[in-house]
């Protein structure tokens, strides 16, 4: 049990050290946009897509100004969720299925 808490503290430390949360970004906002991610983004509900675009535009603006958000507006580790993950898993599964089918 103690090892699990240590790993969780290490994850939180790394999350904060990465810095994207200080710009108001979530983990899924920072994914490299390969073909799978681009397809998953197309499948996002409009409100999730709009929220993502807002976060990215705000982060770009802050970055250009060499600023970060006030600490009370940072995305917290516990509040960050993988909003894109279910869509990305589906896209990857479909792509692998298609690839397997094409090999036959």
What does the pLDDT read at residue 22? 97
The residues near 50 (Cβ < 8 Å, ≥ 6 apart) are none
What does the pLDDT read at residue 47? 98
- What is the rounded distance in angstroms from the CA atom of residue 73 to the CA atom of residue 24? 7
What does the pLDDT read at residue 1? 58
What does the pLDDT read at residue 104? 79
Q: Is the dihedral of CA 17, 23, 27, 33 positive or negative?
A: negative
The number of domains in the chain is 1
**Residue 16: domain span:** 3-103
The residues near 88 (Cβ < 8 Å, ≥ 6 apart) are 31, 36, 37, 40
Q: What is the pTM of this model?
A: 0.86
Identify the segments of the chain with pLDDT beneath 70: 1-2
Domain CATH for 43: 1.10.1090.10
């Amino acid at each position: 049990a103690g090892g699990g808490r240590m790993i969780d503290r290490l994850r939180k430390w790394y999350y904060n050290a990465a810095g994207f949360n200080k710009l108001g970004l979530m983990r899924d906002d920072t994914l490299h946009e390969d073909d799978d991610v681009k397809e998953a983004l197309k499948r996002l509900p409009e409100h999730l897509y709009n929220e993502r675009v807002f976060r990215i535009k705000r982060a770009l603006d802050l970055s250009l100004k060499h600023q970060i958000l006030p600490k009370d507006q940072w995305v917290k580790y516990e509040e960050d969720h993988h909003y894109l993950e279910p869509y990305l898993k589906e896209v990857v599964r479909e792509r692998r299925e298609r690839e397997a089918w094409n090999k036959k």
